[in-house]
Structure 1
Amino acid sequence: MRVTEDSFDAPPWAMQLVVRAEKAAPPAHSAVCAAAAAAVVRLLTDPRAADPEGEWHARVHRWESGRIRKVARRARGVRWPEVQALPGVTVAEEGAEVRAFVPGPVDEVPPELARLQVAGLDLAEDEEPKPPPEPPYAAIALNPDVPMTTGKAAAQSGHAAHLLLREADAPGLAEWIAGGPRVHVHRDIPWRRCVERAAVHVRDAGFTEVPPGTMTAIGWIVTG
């Protein structure tokens, strides 16, 4: 298990995640979490980040050398197209859109991101859970006993997908990455049984919303 927020770096580094949340048609809570998780993985597997010669590689490596802090923000209206010009990867998943940005120090956030609200993103669920996609995909579950806003849950889902990418067994990982990588956030699952079988477990540092050491999310890879 890994604690996933930076408490040692000065200043800490973080990956910013921006959720598109239009007033007229807001996305569902679980869809945002799935899109955030997929955006994190797609940025980390992008050649610009994964290739040692890639333009993003040094910043990603510096960030991963500490703790994998992520900060979720929301954008609507003109703010959403504004942030598309910044280095990152946008993912549309299950009706939600999230952009993951190349990590950097939290005191050097670009103004287009700094003006976006961090706290208060809390969205409703769809009435009926969406079925999972065809394998391979990453399955993520959030702790049903730990209330979290959508922004917090999106960051925790991103952590789970990140840990799957770095720590999952090689055969399942290769199949997942080659297939998308797609993500599905499960609802109404037998949490304790899934904890025992999960490949990764996320524990939070406790800076926001939950006590330190709280298990917030788990993840595993589903293959055909």
Structure 2
Amino acid sequence: MTTNTALAPLRARYGYWLGLNAAEVEQNREEAAEDIRALQLLIRMERDRPPSWHRALELAASGAAAICLDPRAEPGGEWFDAVAAYCAGHIRKVTRRGRGAQWEATADIPGLTLTSADTQVRALVPGLVSQLDKRVSKLQVGGTDVDRDDPGPAPTEPDRVLRLLLPPSLSMTMGKAMAQTGHAGMIAAALMADGASDALSRWIAAGCPAHVDTLDQTSFAQYCALLADPASAWREHRLLAVRDAGFTEVDPGTITVIAIAPA
């Protein structure tokens, strides 16, 4: 497994971003409107077949990671320039909902579609927001929420999946939470791709699986304390975190997801 070059800027920026205070996050997040790039996450929301909250978050993480780790995102691949340019800037993600003909119309846009039971998520190759395909821009950003369901059984091999740990007190719509777990998937991919890794090869071969759990406040705080030193947390515990820029739903600098990468 070769190091994924497109992910290098995200890997380099990760620890720096975690170290900023809330005011610095607000200052650092700004960029010119014409430069804004985003990865679009599409969730299928049919009226008679709502998605699973947990499966949607898991597929968002798997899809965002898989886009970056796909052979087409390697140097010389058709997705490389788009993924590399995206990872060199702010890692914005937008969740949109689609159903029926509108959902089907996005099927041939470059990206990956992931399915788990009745839940489908489409992760699209990132690009400039100003050049967003009209089939995507017409999909609604609002209304991307369903009630939380049961998380399902714990993984039989927890060290082979990306474990996504959410805080109990943070209220986010499903669409916002999908963007956060998608970001966690990308960070895990970037950190794991730093050199040869049997764990990364296994994870890719399995489809970059993820599992979502909600922690109690004490446990979440203990993990946050470990992340005061991001390099040590990764090296010793395979631990990483997503820190939000605070454009929607949460305050700037909020840690929205903690994740444990496959070992």
Same fold per superposition (TM over 0.5): yes
How far is 1:143 from its partner? 2.3
Map 1:7-26 to 2 at 5 A. Answer: 7-11=30-34, 12-26=36-50
Aligned-pair identity (%): 37
The answer for the alignment partner of 1:133 in structure 2 is 155
How far is 1:77 from its partner? 1.2
Residue 84 of structure 1 aligns to a residue whose secondary structure is coil
Residue 124 of structure 1 aligns to a residue whose secondary structure is coil
Contact 2:244 2:254 in 1 (8 A): yes
Unaligned runs of 5+ in 2: 1-14, 19-24, 227-236
Correspondent of 2:209 among 163, 182, 188: 182
How far is 1:85 from its partner? 1.2
Q: Which of 13-22 and 1-10 deviates more?
A: 1-10
Q: Which of 213-222 and 60-69 deviates more?
A: 213-222
Could you list the runs of 4 or more consecutive aligned residues of structure 1 that deviate by over 6 angstroms after TM superposition? none
Residues 128-170 of structure 1 show CA distances to partners (whole Å, capped at 9, x for unaligned) of 3211333311111222221100000000000011101111474
Correspondent of 1:193 among 210, 216, 222: 222
Map 1:116-131 to 2 at 5 A. Answer: 116-126=139-149, 128-131=150-153
Contact 2:151 2:212 in 1 (8 A): no
Residue 100 of structure 2 aligns to a residue whose secondary structure is coil
How far is 1:175 from its partner? 3.1
How far is 1:184 from its partner? 0.8
Give yes or no for the alignment of 1:172 onto 2:207: no
How far is 1:194 from its partner? 4.0
Correspondent of 2:58 among 23, 31, 34: 34
- The CA RMSD over aligned residues, in Å, is 2.1
Give the distance between the partners of 1:109 and 1:97, measured in 2 at CA.
21
Correspondent of 2:251 among 182, 201, 211: 211
Contact 2:64 2:182 in 1 (8 A): yes
Contact 1:198 1:218 in 2 (8 A): no
The answer for the alignment partner of 2:167 in structure 1 is 143
| Greater share of residues in strand | 1
Residue 118 of structure 1 aligns to a residue whose secondary structure is coil
**Aligned letter for 1:175?**
R
Residues 61-100 of structure 1 show CA distances to partners (whole Å, capped at 9, x for unaligned) of 0010001111000011111111111111011135421011
The answer for the alignment partner of 2:135 in structure 1 is 112
| Greater share of residues in helix | 2
Unaligned runs of 5+ in 1: none
Contact 2:163 2:261 in 1 (8 A): yes
**Aligned letter for 2:52?**
A
Contact 1:6 1:13 in 2 (8 A): no
Normalising by structure 2, we get a TM-score of 0.77
Give the distance between the partners of 1:41 and 1:132, measured in 2 at CA.
21
Residues 172-195 of structure 1 show CA distances to partners (whole Å, capped at 9, x for unaligned) of 333322332111111345322344
Map 1:71-110 to 2 at 5 A. Answer: 71-93=94-116, 95-110=118-133
Contact 2:106 2:136 in 1 (8 A): yes
Give the distance between the partners of 1:171 and 1:146, measured in 2 at CA.
34
Give the distance between the partners of 1:120 and 1:179, measured in 2 at CA.
31
Give 1 or 2 for the bigger CA radius of gyration: 2
**Aligned letter for 1:218?**
I
